[in-house]
Every structure is written in C-alpha cells, then in structure tokens.
Amino acid sequence: MNAGKEETLKQKSYSFSHHSIFGIEQLSAEDIRHILATAASFREIAARPVKKVPTLRGKTVINLFFEASTRTRTSFEIAAKRMSADTFNINASTSSTTKGETLIDTTRNLQAMAPDIIIVRHSAAGVPELLGRHVDASIVNAGDGAHEHPSQALLDMMTVMEHKGHIDGLKIAIIGDISHSRVALSDFIGFTRMGAKISVAGPQTYLPLGVEQFGVEVCSSVADAVKDADVVITLRIQLERQNDSLIPSLREYSRFYGINREILKGAKDDVIVMHPGPVNRGVELNPDVADGGRSVILDQVANGVAVRMALLYLVHGGERKEKVQGEKP
Amino acid sequence: MSGQNSVLINGRVIDPLSGIDEICEIHIRDGRIAAGPSSGEEVIDLAGKWVVPGLIDMHVHLREPGEEYKETIASGCRAAAAGGFTAVACMPNTHPVNDNATTTRFIVSRAEGCAARVWPIGAISTGLAGEKLAEMGEMKREGAVAVSDDGRPVVNSQLMRRAMEYAASHALPVISHSEDLALSRGGCMNEGALSTRMGLQGIPAAAEAVMVEREILLAELTGARVHIAHVSTCQSVELIRLAKEQGLTVTGESAPHYFTLTEDAVQGYNTNAKMSPPLRSKADREAIIAALAEGVLDVIATDHAPHSILEKENEFASAANGITGLETSLPLTLRLVRSGALSVKRMVELMSCNPAQILGVPGGSLAVGEVADITVIDPDVQWTFRAAESLSKGKNSPFDGMEMEGRAVMTFLAGECVSSGSIE
C-alpha cells in the first residue's frame, strides 16, 4: 500500500522539463513513457470526424527543413495543425547556406518573428543544438545528419508498445546501414533505455566503430540477428551513397542482408517488421514482407503524427505553463 | 637599433645548450648576450623567475596576406610576445600563397618592427596544388627557412620525393602535413565511439600514420631532412621512433592541444575543439606526452590557426579547422613540467633549442654573443586565460576560461623588452 502511495506521489511529482528535443539521449525512461502515454491519448483524435483540438491555438510552429523530406515534414505539419497551431514550412536548401553564418542568420531572422517552436532537419549533425543556442523558441530535431531522429525512435517505440504491450525484455533486430542512420542511433538509445535487447547485422562497411557502446549485440549474419526476434527493423539503404563503395551492388546486398519471408522464419511467430521509410522495395525489404501481415509500417506512420503532437504539446510547455500560472497569481 | 643594456639578476637561468641550470646573471649589451657588465646597465631583478632562451613556435598561421580579418603579422607577433615567443615560423597557406619570392619578401617586410621574429615557410608546390614545385631557392634567398604545403598533404608521392630532393639541395627542411585524404575524406573528428554517438564522420588515426610512414620512406630514399607536423596519434609516434632508431633525419612536433585534450572536448559540437588532425584518444594523448619527454618528438609547436566566428559559429562538419595557441602554449606545457612528465630543461629544448636547430635560425641559446632573445617565466602565477582578451585577432580557443599556473612575464627581443605581462 505504502509503496503504491509513493508511486502515485512520484508520478504526480513528475513534470516534463525539456524545452527542446535534440535527441533521445537527453530523455530518461520516465520521459519516454510520458511522451508515449501523451501520444497514445492523442491517437484517437485521428479517428474523430473533426480532427482538431485547440491545444496549441495561437502558437507558431515553423518547419525548417534543410534537407528534402516529405513524410517527416508532412507528419509534423499535420501534428501541429491538428493542435490548431499556425504552421509555416521553410524548405531551405543547404547549398544556399553553405556558410554557417547564413544558417545562424536564417535562424535569427526567424527568431525575430517570435515562433514558439522550430522543427529542424539538417544534413549536419549538431545543427539543432547550434540553433538552440541562438533562439528562444523550442527546437524539435526532425533529423540531424547521422546523429539523431528522436521522433522516429519514439514512433517506433509507440508502435512496438501498441503491438507487444511492452518494450522491456523484447529482442529487437536492426538490420542494414547503421553507420549513416540517425534512426538506428536514436532507436539504440531509446529501446535499450526501455529495457529491450538489440541485435544488429549488416556488412562491416555499414557498422560504425564503437557500436557496442550502445549495449547492442553485433551479429555476423542477419539470421543470427533475427533469431527469436520480436521486432525486426530494417534501415533504408541510401542510394546516393552508392559511389562510396560501401557495398558492391544493391543486388548482392539484397541477397545477404535483405529481409524476406524466409529469413523471418527464424524470428518469433508474432514478429513485427518495421521500416522508417521510404522503402527501397526489393533491396532492404522484399515486397512479400513489406506488404505482408507482419509489416506494421503504416501503423508507424499513423503513430508518427500522434508522437509529434505529443512532442509539440510537451515542449511548448502546456503542462508546465499551466502549473506556473496556477502558482503565480 | 637595440634596446637598453641591462642585466637580469637573481633569475634561474636554464640554458640547455650550455648545460646551465642555476641562478646567475645574464648581461645584455647591444641586443646580444654579453660576458660581463657594461656601463649604465639597467638592473632587472627576476627573483623566483625562470630565464630561458626565447621560445620559438615553428608552426603558426599569421593569415597575412589575404585574411587580415583573422590575424595580421603584427597582431600575431603581439600574441606571440605575450605568450613568451620571440620567433614564429609562419605557414604559406595565405592568399596569395607564399610560393614565390615576392610574397616571402612581403611577409619579411611586414614583420619588421613587430614584437617577434617571423620566419616564413615557403610552399612545396605552387598554389599548394600539389602539382608543381614552388621556387624554393628564390624563397630561401628572401628569408624562407623551410617548405611545407601545411593544411594539405602532398598527395602525389613522386612530387614529394622530388620536393625532398630539391629542398635538400637548398638545405631546406621539408615539413609534412601527414594526412591520407582518401581516408580522412568527409571526416571532422577522431573516428571512434564518440564520433558514432555524435553522428559525425570520423577520421581514423591510420589516415595520419599511413602518410607519416610514406614520408619516412621517402626521407630514407632521398636523405632529406623531414619534419612531421602536428603529430596526433600513437602510431605516428611509433613510426617516428623507428625512423630515428634507423638514423634517419626525421623530426616531429606535437601541439599543446594534443597533449592536453582528447576528443571529448568536441562534445556539444564545440567547433573550437575542431582542428586537423583531430583531437584523439586518451592513449594517443599519453603517447604524445611520453614521446615529447623521451625525445621521439622534438618540438612543441602550436599550429596557431586564428579564425573569426564566420568560420567557427557553424555546423560542426563544415566549421573551419584550427585553434589559436600562442598565448596558451607555455602555460599548458608548464602543466607537464609540474606533473613531472617533462623536466624544465626538456621543455626549453622542445620550445626553443630544437625548433631553432631544425629551422637553422638564431636563438635557442643564452651563450655569450647570441642574440638576446630571452623569455622570462613566472612558473607560479595563477591566472585565467580569457580568449576575448587575447592579443590574437582569433578568439577560437578551447582553453577559454581555463585556470592556468605560470606564464611568460617578460619577453626580450634582441635585448628589448617587447612584452611584459602583469608581474603582480
């Protein structure tokens, strides 16, 4: 009884304290659980005939994308609009901002227009932190180089929760280009923090030095990694890296590292297959799996909106602000 | 032409070349070290201070001509004097490149009357393009003391071979920026667990060592004098050790940041901890300290590389390489002396005697008749380095705000006191 009481007290005393989301790295397991619970409560809004709540009315959200993106940008935009925020999309090409001061200038100009939240994607790692040093707005990282993609990891975790009921103790196989994947990095940190075991496989050219630091098991074959897995996540092969001689050919890659129905036989019977999208069909994922019963890729997309709604809601300080206002007459 | 005749008394004089480490007097007459007193000497009491041959930094970037917003020869020399350096050797990657006699002469003329001696280093290849030898003989005639394409490696091994042979004919040492560009391409920090965690592309330690070994093999082939710039890895140290055991005329330098910091300093995407080669691991750092003590590495040089915020307040991957170093080099080296890693004598060899000898320039000695380039060090003074107060135009230092113990308090250039720090 007492323990239960303490638990309740503890839960009550929790408050989300992050002004910006630069990565999963900064989030505790408690933060992650709170984000996922908040996202789950937003999930049903998508099922309503009028898909809009007034939570962020009057707030300005800027989508600052220095790198091409359709689904992540759209997902953030839908999330913001469903919460009644005013959203603006800025697609800045990195080529026009080759010098850093232009990037800082762009951001300072945006700051002058007093946005509440800036969602940023950039091909260089660390840009969200850099911007965070120059603006008052909350920053939400929508992917920075090969560093982090926190909203993707959160929607991955939400999808796993939905299908498995828990994350703790699951075996999650992550297959493919780990070296250049911000999704992999954020997934490593997030899933291990939530108690899952991760095994990875891919050609050594796709495995970065020191990947063991994340507490993941490096397997010598996809079959080993997938064996008894509850979840298989395949990563997108970045076709633009073809000239870097990381793999001899897509054909060979698909043969040794592609996920197909056959290789999934070694996994648990109720294994689910995820992919951050967009899928190179027939390369990292065979169409029979991508469109098969084990694929939960479209659930990921739906959860993406809910997770992003939760992030926007939490960083703009909805909870905290109300509290502060309540305290100060 | 020279300053006041004076006598430095009560200081601990450390002059490795004459084997002196004792409290004694140093007489200065007409800009040179004199055997005895001269009339009207000013007496300078240096009780508790160290008196050493003027420090020489054989690897700096003074940015003039071409990038005077980052540094000028005059501002760089002021920073040098404040840091205890009486001479610096400046790399040729200016705009235009110092690959011709006219530019060398320009640098020498701009250095006149400055607070430190400036020894220009000429380019190995015209435009640093790595294709065609620069006119080394003519540059030497105008004052160049070495050749280097620093900032870039000479990719073409045949050109490097020819450069070594040709430089040897003009008695110029060749200074190598050792980096395999194919291995380092796209990288911006040390490759390892941290680069993976930060999502930054790494530069493997092998990118340096591969090229160090090429230079050593070419030194063996040509008999040239080769100096390896900014050694950052333990593999490079081992290769240089072997080359020296073979009796090759290979020397090497490292910089204070490599023996003070590790890659951890880049956390938070700190572009003031970004340089080429990158900060490495703890093991590399320790290997470099040992190599400096044991004589495998011969020189501490700063690779002083001033930049403005235009180049540094930037995405980490695209921020410019380099940090300032002239005002922090001595205090950071004094930390090694205090920890017992280096003797005082060894410090003076690394920062004065050896660079003078490698470049063949005056200094590095307090023997009678030598130029009176002298650095006075207070080994105990407590102070805090503030980049904003630096005399260099560059404020890009990872040591901003660091508590220091010890610094240069007086710098004599040809007998004239050109910098006197706050002796409180």
Written as tens digits, the pLDDT of chain B (424 aa) is 446 899 999 999 999 999 999 999 999 999 999 999 988 899 999 999 999 999 999 999 999 999 999 999 999 999 999 999 999 999 999 999 999 999 999 999 999 999 999 999 999 999 999 999 999 999 999 999 999 999 999 999 999 999 999 999 999 999 999 999 999 999 999 999 999 999 999 999 999 999 999 999 999 999 999 999 999 999 999 999 999 999 999 999 999 999 999 999 999 999 999 999 999 999 999 999 999 999 999 999 999 999 998 899 889 999 999 999 999 999 999 999 999 999 999 999 999 999 999 999 999 999 999 999 999 999 999 999 999 999 999 999 999 999 999 999 999 999 999 988 654 3
Using left for φ > 0, alpha for ψ between -120 and 50, and beta otherwise, residue B143 falls in: left
A126 at B interface, C-beta within 8 A = yes
Cα gap A179→B30, rounded to integer Å: 64
User: Which residue in A has a C-alpha nearest to residue B193's C-alpha?
Assistant: A210
A139 at B interface, C-beta within 8 A = no
Residue among A103, A129, A148 minimizing CB distance to B269 = A129
What count of Cα atoms within 13 Å lies in the side-chain half-sphere of residue A119? Answer: 33
A103 at B interface, C-beta within 8 A = yes
CA distance B197 to chain A (A): 7
Using left for φ > 0, alpha for ψ between -120 and 50, and beta otherwise, residue B180 falls in: beta
Q: Cβ separation of B268 and A129 shorter than 8 Å? A: yes
φ/ψ of residue B61, rounded to 5? -115, 115
Other Cβ atoms closer than 10 A to A268: 16
pLDDT tens over chain A, length 329 residues:
444 445 555 556 788 999 999 999 999 999 999 999 999 999 988 888 988 999 999 999 999 999 888 899 999 999 999 999 999 988 876 555 555 557 878 878 888 889 999 999 999 999 999 999 889 999 999 999 999 999 999 999 999 999 999 999 999 999 999 999 999 999 999 999 999 999 999 999 999 999 999 999 999 999 999 999 999 999 999 877 767 789 999 999 999 999 999 999 999 999 999 999 899 999 999 999 999 999 999 999 999 999 999 999 999 865 443 333 333 33
- pTM here is 0.91
The angle at the Cα of B45, spanning B43 to B51, to the nearest 5 degrees, equals: 105
Active site residues of B: 303
Residue among B194, B309, B317 minimizing CB distance to A124 = B317
Nearest of B288, B282, B259 to residue B192 by alpha carbon: B282
Q: Cβ separation of A100 and B310 shorter than 8 Å? A: yes
3-state helix, strand, coil in chain A (%, to 5): 50, 15, 35
Cα gap B63→B93, rounded to integer Å: 8
Residue among B198, B199, B314 minimizing CB distance to A100 = B314
What count of Cα atoms within 13 Å lies in the side-chain half-sphere of residue B259? Answer: 33
Q: Cβ separation of B318 and A122 shorter than 8 Å? A: no
B264 CB-near residues (< 8 Å, 6+ apart): B194
| Chain A (195-234) residues lying within 8 Å, Cβ to Cβ, of chain B | 208-211, 213
Q: List the structure tokens of A314.
A: 């939490």
Dump pLDDT digits (tens) for B31-82: 999 999 988 899 999 999 999 999 999 999 999 999 999 999 999 999 999 9
CA distance A145 to chain B (A): 7
Query: Which residues from chain B sit within 8 angstroms of residue A99, using beta carbons?
Result: 310, 314
Q: Provide the edge-to-edge strand list for the sheet that holds B226-228.
A: B55-60, B85-90, B117-122, B146-148, B174-176, B226-228, B250-254, B299-300
- Secondary structure E strands in chain A: 60-65, 86-91, 117-122, 138-144, 171-175, 197-201, 217-218, 231-234, 272-274
Q: Cβ separation of B200 and A145 shorter than 8 Å? A: yes
What is the ipTM, given to two decimal places?
0.87
Residue among A99, A122, A209 minimizing CB distance to B310 = A99
Dump pLDDT digits (tens) for B111-155: 999 999 999 999 999 999 999 999 999 999 999 999 999 999 999
A120 at B interface, C-beta within 8 A = no
